[in-house]
Structure 1
Amino acid sequence: MKFFRKLTILVGLIGLGAVASVCAQNTTEPSPESFSQRPVAKDARTRAKLHTELGSLYFQDGDLIVALEELTLAAAIDPTYAKAFATRGVVLYHVKEFDSADQDFRTALNLDEKDPEISNNYGWFLCRTGKPKEALGHFQRAIKNPLYRTPGLAYLNEGECYIKLGELDQAEESLRKGMRLVPGNLQGLYHQAVISYKRGNYDAARKYLSGVIRSERVPAEVLWLALRIERQLGDKAAESAIAARLRRSFPESPEYQAFLKGNFE
């Protein structure tokens, strides 16, 4: 499906290039009306949108270098297109260019401060880079926007931030609201497991995490939590199996290094 979507976008970009070529070859003396910048602006915005969507698809496929190239091109084509900067901010976070990512998110918000998706993504970025208090306002801005199509994701992100702040009751409330809107969300289940683990309710933590660890791609942090849950419950066989999985998939991860050192908390 992604391949055909990429192909459709590329065909669209080729089509826009063909139109531009025809216009360039037209040597007829222009009328005064043709000096209007609106058609040019529309064409630039269309191309920027297409390159942004293409960059998003490459990002989803894990090709971060090409994703950055496409998003940088989108931002150059239309420097007023907020989503190009916001999407590039997400990719820059994943390549650990945090300062550049922060700048892109700020640029995106300056261009379109009312876009709830940008607010949510910037809040997510702040939460993941050690600024959970600053993040909360961005989540609420997204949630309160009646045009936001996925407020459940903002609630889940908000819940993660409250966990980082140690406010477990608030975290639980945000996660409950989020899970009502996006039931079965793996991020939400993981963080509900985190709360249960922190409260010493290991059976509930295992239950929340059971569906998560069966998924195809499980992050190291999820396996690490599952391992510690089984350790607390005294299931040595399950603990060993998860430790082996952590070693196979993430041998250089901080989580596996903590396991080797016996640092379980």
Structure 2
Amino acid sequence: MIRSVVLLSACLLSLGSLPVAAQVVVPESTHTNQVATDARTRARLHTELGAMYLQDGNMAVALEETGVAIEADPGYASAYSVRALVYTALREFTSAEADFKKALGLAPGDPDVNNNYGWYLCQRDRAKESVTYFLAAVKNPLYSTPERAYVNAGTCALKAGDLEGAREYLTHALRLAKDGGPQAQLQLAKLAYTQGNMTEARNRLLEMMRLGGQPPAEALWLGVRIERKLGNKAEESSMTAQLRRLYVASPEYQELLKGNYE
């Protein structure tokens, strides 16, 4: 997904005409550069707002804000990338694909654009193809969160059936993580479960839960299946109860009700 955005405590200023006596004549090239800088600043601010509204689930305003950003600066790749994520959430995949392609055309080496497009491809059942974009993201030495792209690469490699690649990427993410790597631990637990190593799967999952925070539905559902495989009835019941209490409307709980443990 999207990198964290910070709401800037700034406003867009509309510069009116100065009194004649106060006007300063500047070279045309300097004026042009200033206009371009102002346009990029407006585009960045509106893109950040769009990303925040996307995270809050307000798709209409997110779409409006990213549209304003693109109108302000049609060359700002991040605006297209975030708008593509909005279109993805709205299931308007043709528009999402077009915006991602535009963003990549403008900034082929941008790590966030590559990471976002990779995640889009993975969600669209193009997991094998997606890994290329995650690896392109981590190649950028200025990328501040390469561990996220490695987790995404590992998650999608696992989805594509590349178990060896998944372990490599997730292990790399774990080495880079400063918070203990809960997401990497969860995906490594899923990998171990897939390979039939229930002891490792259980240890990885318990470490993920130890790192704090409420475990997501996929973690609890994985825990139910691990404990079931190990024959730990009490632990299986505990995980089931948590899944029911916290995520009764989740797809994972529906799988539990259907008895689809595999």
Query: AA paired with 1:197?
Result: Y
Runs of at least 5 residues in structure 2 that lack an aligned partner in the other structure: 1-5
1:263, distance to aligned residue in structure 2 (A):
1.0
The 3 A distance-change label for structure 1 pair 234 and 98 is farther
1:198 pairs, out of 194, 205, 209, with 194
**Residue in 2 aligned with 1:22?**
16
CA distance in 1, matches of 2:258, 2:196: 23
1:240 pairs, out of 237, 241, 262, with 237
CA distance in 2, matches of 1:220, 1:149: 28
The structure where helix makes up a greater share of residues is 1
CA distance in 1, matches of 2:134, 2:223: 28
Q: TM-score, normalized by length of structure 2?
A: 0.84
Sequence identity, in percent? 45
**Residue in 1 aligned with 2:10?**
12
Partner of 1:212: helix, strand, or coil?
helix
1:143, distance to aligned residue in structure 2 (A):
2.4
CA distance in 2, matches of 1:212, 1:66: 35
Do the aligned residues in 2 keep the contact of 1:213 with 1:223 (CA within 8 Å)? no
1:158 maps onto 2:156 in alignment: no
1:66, distance to aligned residue in structure 2 (A):
3.7
1:177, distance to aligned residue in structure 2 (A):
1.2
CA distance in 2, matches of 1:173, 1:61: 33
1:174, distance to aligned residue in structure 2 (A):
1.4
**Residue in 2 aligned with 1:207?**
203
Partner of 2:10: helix, strand, or coil?
helix
The 3 A distance-change label for structure 1 pair 94 and 198 is same
CA distance in 2, matches of 1:96, 1:237: 41
The 3 A distance-change label for structure 1 pair 130 and 226 is same
1:231, distance to aligned residue in structure 2 (A):
1.1
1:44 maps onto 2:39 in alignment: yes
1:71, distance to aligned residue in structure 2 (A):
2.4
Indicate the larger mover: 94-103 or 163-172. Answer: 94-103
1:37, distance to aligned residue in structure 2 (A):
3.5
CA distance in 1, matches of 2:243, 2:87: 26
**Residue in 1 aligned with 2:75?**
80
Indicate the larger mover: 229-238 or 51-60. Answer: 51-60
Q: Say how many residue pairs are matched.
A: 253
Runs of at least 5 residues in structure 1 that lack an aligned partner in the other structure: none
The 3 A distance-change label for structure 1 pair 219 and 89 is farther
2:217 pairs, out of 205, 216, 220, with 220
Indicate the larger mover: 59-68 or 101-110. Answer: 59-68
2:185 pairs, out of 186, 189, 194, with 189
Indicate the larger mover: 198-207 or 152-161. Answer: 152-161
**Post-superposition CA distance 1:90-145 (Å, at most 9, x none):** 34434444333322221111111121221122112211221012112212222223
Do the aligned residues in 1 keep the contact of 2:182 with 2:209 (CA within 8 Å)? no
1:217, distance to aligned residue in structure 2 (A):
4.2
CA distance in 2, matches of 1:101, 1:219: 27
Query: AA paired with 1:203?
Result: T
Q: TM-score, normalized by length of structure 1?
A: 0.83
- Bigger RCO of structures 1 and 2 (CA < 8 A, at least 6 apart): 2
1:194, distance to aligned residue in structure 2 (A):
0.7
1:251 maps onto 2:252 in alignment: no
Partner of 1:53: helix, strand, or coil?
helix
Indicate the larger mover: 204-213 or 57-66. Answer: 57-66
The 3 A distance-change label for structure 1 pair 102 and 66 is same
Structural mapping, 1:45-64, within 5 Å: 45-64=40-59
CA distance in 2, matches of 1:263, 1:180: 34
